[in-house]
Amino acid sequence: MKTYIAQRLGIALLTLLGMSMVIFALLRLAPGDIVDILFSAAGYVNPSEKQAILKELGMDRPYWVQYVEWLKQIVTGDLGKSYRYDLPAWQIIKPLVPVTLELAVLSMVVAVVLGVPTGVISAVR
């Protein structure tokens, strides 16, 4: 039993690691980077200012270093700063968590209420 649980936990950790790699890659493959987005409305941007922002955000380092830093921040709960609202991202997300949980619970209830009888009927017939 212990080996089964250990195997399942190992598979879960590998799955989470793989998902984090895919998410990180998709974030990096999106057109434009955060610096371009920040300065898109500003018109002409001094290249030295752009390089300073890239260095501040750590985007001038290799991708694997960026990934390790990003993973550390996610694990410690540091979601970064919202440049739109000029606040820590967690302060923006925190009030929305109860509504998200309520929606998730209600959707699971609807899925079980519809799925269990449908499964039983299909198993009987």
pLDDT at 4 over 80: yes
Other Cβ atoms less than 10 A from the Cβ of 70: the count is 19
Model pTM score: 0.66
Domain ranges of the chain: 81-125
Vertex 108: Cα angle to 16 and 115 (nearest 5): 110
Q: Are 58 and 78 in contact (CB under 8 A)?
A: no
pLDDT of residue 43: 65
- What is the per-residue pLDDT across 25-54, written as a single tens digit (0 to 9) for each? 998 887 777 777 777 766 667 778 878 878
Q: What is the pLDDT of residues 75-120, one digit of tens each?
A: 898 888 887 788 898 999 999 999 999 999 999 999 999 999 999 9
Q: What are phi and psi of 33, to 5 degrees?
A: -115, 175
